[in-house]
Amino acid sequence: MATIYDHIWSDAQDQAQALNGWQQRYEQLSCGRFQGHAWQMVMAQGALLRETSNLHLRQQITPPPDHLVLAIPLAVQPGSRFAGRPLERESLLVFGADDEHQLVSAGELDLIGLSVHRDTLNQLAGPTLEWLHQAERDRNLGLSSDAASAIRHLLLAVTANAADGIAPLDSPAQEVGLLKDTLSQTVFLAMHSATQSASIPRRANSRLKVVQRAINFMQAQVHNAIGVPEICAAAYASRRSLQYCFEEFVHTTPQAYLRALRLNEARRMLKRTDARAITDIACDLGFASGSHFTRHYKVMFGELPSQTLKASGLSGHAF
């Protein structure tokens, strides 16, 4: 029996955990209060889904095991990227199973899509399945305006009808039928689209790898005293090259990203049941003082660290 999960979130990290079966990590990179919405209709062989967010985020996304996901933006801000390429309203996102995907939203993002298990996927006709395998390798496909519009209307209609009970889902066979029909129609529209994204040019791909190496190093060393020289060494890039690559793919500087990474990690620590004192967390993450940390934290998240503790029911650990 299909189950609907529908939640509004005020924390990017909470929303990252909202989708059933997904492994996600969100880093908030712009200042302000997060507002997001995650909707899912989960079935035995897949799901319909829609997710919205309002801030500049970097998302690391791994779909449910043995699932293929197709999604398209209903709204997206210029400068957003998926799989290293521009993410636009005419982009079809393809999330392959058991693989991590990188998405940077420059601001407001509204995605709608469907997730289908491999067992159902393999029941599709040969040409459709072959096209999907290629799309899974491409990840980010550019569609014509007409095709993108048609897919958006299709997915909106299917999710609305399923949520309102207009589409009968009283048995596993009906659920599989809905997923197969929706996937087949989506692929038909995409296959006959006028354009398709080219692969990332070799030089751009090299710059993207610089960013990925730098971010992997920062995440691994978030509790240690590191600066730009150490990040440059880990990324095999000069300071100037590192700056350029971050501005191209993440729309921020390496220094600002490291600070945001530490603030996001602090927020995770504050929300744990075994949260430590605020001053200890600030010191552990390399902030000069508790007041320095508190100032940056409030600018980033729109609330004091003590308010985060209180909202988590842990105000006794504030000192």
What domains can you pick out in the chain, each with its CATH number?
3-191 (2.60.120.10), 202-317 (1.10.10.60)
Tokens (6 digits) for 153: 């209307």
Interval 227-231 mean pLDDT: 95
- Residues 6 or more apart whose CB falls under 8 angstroms from that of 73 comprise 87, 88, 89, 91, 109, 110, 111
Task: Using pLDDT thresholds of 50, 70 and 90, give the confidence band for residue 307.
Answer: very high
pLDDT per residue over 207-221, tens digit each? 999 999 999 999 999
Of the ranges 26-35, 161-170, 307-316, which one carries the lowest mean pLDDT score?
Answer: 307-316
**β-pair type (57-62, 85-86):** unpaired
**pLDDT of 80 above 80:** yes
Calpha distance 175→172 (Å, rounded) = 5
CA dist 88 → 44, 69, 141, 288, 292 (Å): 31, 17, 10, 40, 38
Residue 197, pLDDT score: 53
**pLDDT of 281 above 80:** yes
Residue 273, pLDDT score: 72
Percent of the chain with pLDDT over 90: 74
Instruction: Confirm whether pTM is higher than 0.85.
Output: yes
Tokens (6 digits) for 107: 């601001």
Calpha distance 234→210 (Å, rounded) = 9
**pLDDT of 316 above 80:** no
> Cα 229 to chain center, whole Å?
29
pLDDT per residue over 102-114, tens digit each? 999 999 999 999 9
Sheet holding 81-82, edge to edge: 23-28, 57-62, 101-105, 81-82, 85-86
Task: Using pLDDT thresholds of 50, 70 and 90, give the confidence band for residue 166.
Answer: confident
Q: How many CB atoms lie within 10 A of CB 70?
A: 24
**pLDDT of 13 above 70:** yes
Residue 134 exposed, middle or buried by CB count within 10 Å (0-12, 13-18, 19+): exposed
- Residues 6 or more apart whose CB falls under 8 angstroms from that of 157 comprise none
**pLDDT of 25 above 70:** yes
Calpha distance 59→12 (Å, rounded) = 10
CA dist 111 → 3, 49, 70, 183 (Å): 20, 8, 10, 16
DSSP 71-104: EEEEEE-TT-EETTEE--TTEEEEE-TT--EEEE
Calpha distance 98→71 (Å, rounded) = 17
Task: Using pLDDT thresholds of 50, 70 and 90, give the confidence band for residue 195.
Answer: low
